Amino acid sequence: MAAPTTHNLAVDGRRLWETIHETATFGGTPKGGVRRLTLTDEDRQVRDWFRSACEALGCTVTIDDMGNMFARRSGRRDDVAPIAFGSHLDTQPTGGKFDGVLGVLAGLEVLRTLHDAGYETSAPLELVNWTNEEGSRFAPAMLASGVFAGAIAKETALAQTDREGATFGAELDRIGYRGEEPCGVRAFSSFFELHIEQGPILEDEDKMIGVVEAVQGIRWYELTLVGQDAHSGATPMRLRRDALVGAARVVAAVDRIGRARPDCVGTVGLMEVKPNSRNVSPGEVFLTVDFRSPDDAKVAAMESDLIAAVAEITSDLGLEGAPVRIWDQPATIFDAECVAAVEAAAKAFGQGSRRMVSGAGHDAAYVARVAPTAMIFVPCKGGISHNEAESSTLEQCAAGAQVLLDAVLRYDRKFG
């Protein structure tokens, strides 16, 4: 499955593939995807499985008080902080089998390969499952890695609620995954994250490996537009304060703002209409806005445009409401040495690769604030992700796991 490398260790691609499909049964959907929202019963099930799989290899599993899981494999030197790798096991409401999951399970395959070979690294190794990367149940995304990096206050994170009012902290307790270790006290010598690209570039260019050197900046907003519920037949158009009309104009404004500058995107991905009745002009709409760009100045400019647009819309329609920024993740540049290790590993594997910037946010962006970090991408069919149709191949997943293994061992040489 793999070309010769400096250590002559090859991952078992078939075993990784079977493990991916095994875990997809936790929250599996009729369409072949996965619904495994953070801190649900399905999340608890896959966490239990993950802990057992790591302990079977002799790893020590520690859980911090944000639910992050760390499976440690000892090295020759206990005085060195571990080389860490991993991703997340939570999914979107209609997610696929690979987003986040590949990074964790490829990390497990790395540990299994080393275990089978009896290979001892100089530094300890740690496989990480980060809590609530997706942010689809508890906003913002990358919540627990944000606490780990000191970018989000733990008290704020634990108090976050889902749309039904359940708090992050209460749900963490309910599934039994609030550990005793304070989040953020653990140190890494480096961190590597493997992920599907979630875009079409690698597939379009027929490249197997993306050497990720940066993650673009992201800002999230919430907006509640308040007008007046009104009877759809008895209220003249000129006397309405229709919040949904305002929301429609905001959606159009976000689309216009995202298109106005190169390398920028804007998205309204969630909307809730009240009272949501067919014969009532809606009096309240809640919606979210997502802006992204590799250039933080452009993200700030999009925010200014949004504030101005919403002010104009609410004034024109007699509505109330203003966008509230709930998350600001600046653009991240990854560590040159870690990126070089990934690039060298990709070349040793003998597959085509390219350097690239991640359009999606990842836990690695927060970890990069406290440890040298890099990412590895592999293709996904059609660039489709956050979708039950999300797909990658056995060969692509195995290639990513092989590059992960090789990059980790290359970085480990500095401690030998």
Residue 95 · residue 133 · CB < 8 Å: no
How far is Cα 40 from Cα 29, in angstroms, rounded to an integer? Answer: 15
How far is Cα 264 from Cα 258, in angstroms, rounded to an integer? Answer: 5
Length of the chain, in residues: 416
E-assigned strands of 159-238? Answer: 190-196, 209-215, 217-226, 230-231
Report the relative pairing of strands 83-88 and 125-130 from DSSP bridges.
parallel
Name the nearest CA neighbour of 217 among 112, 10, 361. 361
CA atoms within 13 A on the CB side of 195: 29
Is 134 annotated to bind a ligand? Reply is yes
Note the Cα 272 to chain centre separation in Å. 24
Residue 220 · residue 288 · CB < 8 Å: yes
Is 99 annotated to bind a ligand? Reply is yes
Q: Which two tokens stand for residue 89?
A: 């096991």
3-state secondary structure of 195: strand
How far is Cα 167 from Cα 106, in angstroms, rounded to an integer? Answer: 31
How far is Cα 73 from Cα 60, in angstroms, rounded to an integer? Answer: 7
Q: Which two tokens stand for residue 145?
A: 């890695």
Residue 40 · residue 90 · CB < 8 Å: no
DSSP designation for 131: S
Is 65 annotated to bind a ligand? Reply is no
* Other beta carbons within 10 Å of 137: 23
Is 195 annotated to bind a ligand? Reply is yes
Distances, alpha carbon 72 to alpha carbons 160, 219, 281, in Å: 29, 34, 57
Is 386 annotated to bind a ligand? Reply is yes
Residue 172 · residue 352 · CB < 8 Å: no
Numbered residues of the known binding site for Zn(2+): 88, 99, 134, 195, 386
Numbered residues of the known binding site: 88, 99, 134, 195, 386
